[in-house]
Amino acid sequence: MNPLETYQSDAMERPLIRRRLFWALVGSVLIHLGVVCWFRQTYLAPQFNAPVERLVPRIFSIKKITIDEGALDREEKEEARTKVDQMPAVKPLAIPDEKPTAEVTEGKMTPVAPSTPDLVKPVAEKPVVNSNDLQAIVRVQENAAKAMDQDLLSLRDSLLKDQPASVSHPLIKLPESAAGNAAANDAAGMAAASGRLDALLGHGLHSGDAPVTMPGGAMFEFASSDLRPAAVDQLRKLGLLIKQSPNVIFSIDGFTDSFGDAAYNQQLSQARADAVRAWLIQNMDVDPSHIQATGFGATGFLVRPQPVDMHSQASIEKEKLLEQSNRRVEIRFKFARIPKPR
């Protein structure tokens, strides 16, 4: 049978389908409306054994609120008063009312200034130094060393005043030429150091060369790190030798004699070595990385110290003359290793 002959049009069924869809849509809308109305009228809390509450809180509105401005000010004042009350009470500093007094000495009245209470001295501010400014650092170190030297000298003088006075022995006579001998020895030592520097400038430095020794008495003032003018010529030669030897590290070592405190001798020897290094950097324009300064204090004696009677000036002068060579500055040479070519 031909399939085209079995086709039948559904034009007659369309009105029936439209009516069914219409009533189905109306029924769906009515069902949804009924469900919504049922949920609005039914509480869920009894179904779950929970207290009856509204799931949505009530909404209310406020038309106008009036706030008293004075109430805020009162609260701030009360808080400030409470903080003041909680602060501990400060007791005023009681300064004694002292009046000038006078002392009577041999019938004369000498006014005495009133004593003031001990107050905390303000701490002097440390100078702020730029790490890149090498000259400023050196100046600060020199000033600190000078100030420390002055304090130590004043302390030493006060201690010497407290010691019993030495009784001179009629049989002991101080050598009149002791100071002259010391100066002559220092001059001879400086001349030897100058000749040694001239020789090194002539033929150059070599591995194994002995250090150059400069007498401390000829280079520095007594118990000080201030350079003497007589040491300038030798320091100039040393600066030329440093510039002439770029592959050598120069070590400036300071030494003292056995007199004095160990800490003071260590500080003095370091200050003197630093003074030589600073002079070379400032006046000879040498590379700071090629110079090292180290203070060894009362060590490395060239002459062994002997027992000294501190109550006898003759014994002290004799020991100072004996240990003259221990007070010195040595210049040592360290050759940098040059890598071998591969």
* Domain range annotation of the chain: 134-160+178-335
- Tens digit of pLDDT for each residue in 250-287? 999 999 988 888 999 999 999 999 999 999 999 999 99
Tokens (6 digits) for 207: 């591995």
Strands 328-335 and 212-215: antiparallel
| Architecture of the domain whose range is 134-160+178-335 | 2-Layer Sandwich (3.30)
Query: What pLDDT shows up at residue 243?
Result: 93
For the ranges 128-132, 287-291, 292-296, which has the lowest average pLDDT? 128-132
Residue 18 has pLDDT above 80, yes or no: yes
State the pLDDT confidence band at 292, using cuts at 50, 70 and 90.
Answer: very high
Question: How many residues comprise the chain?
Answer: 342
Separation between Cα atoms, residue 223 and residue 265, nearest integer Å: 9
CB within 8 Å of 139: residues ≥ 6 apart: none
304-318 mean pLDDT:
86
- Tens digit of pLDDT for each residue in 59-84? 656 667 776 666 667 777 777 777 76
Which tops the pLDDT comparison, 259 or 123?
259
Separation between Cα atoms, residue 202 and residue 134, nearest integer Å: 31
Query: What pLDDT shows up at residue 106?
Result: 47
Residue type, 49: N
Q: How would you classify residue 287: left for phi > 0, otherwise alpha for psi between -120 and 50, otherwise beta? A: beta
Name residue 2's beta-bridge partners.
Answer: none
- Tens digit of pLDDT for each residue in 194-234? 999 999 999 889 888 899 999 988 888 878 889 998 899 99
311-320 mean pLDDT:
86
Separation between Cα atoms, residue 111 and residue 102, nearest integer Å: 4
Q: What is the mean pLDDT of the chain?
A: 76
Q: Where are the beta strands (DSSP E) in the chain?
A: 101-105, 108-112, 212-215, 248-255, 291-295, 328-335
Contact 331, 212 (CB under 8 A): yes
Tokens (6 digits) for 96: 């004694």
Query: What pLDDT shows up at residue 126?
Result: 52
Contact 256, 267 (CB under 8 A): no
Look-up: residue for tokens 């000078």?
Answer: 146
Which tops the pLDDT comparison, 174 or 276?
276
Of 334, 339, 256, 320, the closest CA to residue 291 belongs to: 334
The angle at the Cα of 283, spanning 280 to 288, to the nearest 5 degrees, equals: 40
CA distances from 91 to 88, 94, 103 (A): 9, 9, 35
DSSP 8-state secondary structure symbol assigned to residue 265 = H
Separation between Cα atoms, residue 3 and residue 301, nearest integer Å: 134
> How much of the chain, in percent, has pLDDT values that exceed 90?
29
Residue type, 209: D
Query: What pLDDT shows up at residue 163?
Result: 45
Measured from the Cβ of residue 20, the count of other Cβ atoms closer than 10 Å reads 10
> How much of the chain, in percent, has pLDDT values that exceed 70?
63
Residue type, 137: I
Burial 231-260 (b: 16+ CB within 10 A, else e): beebbebbbebbeebeebebbbbbbbbbbe
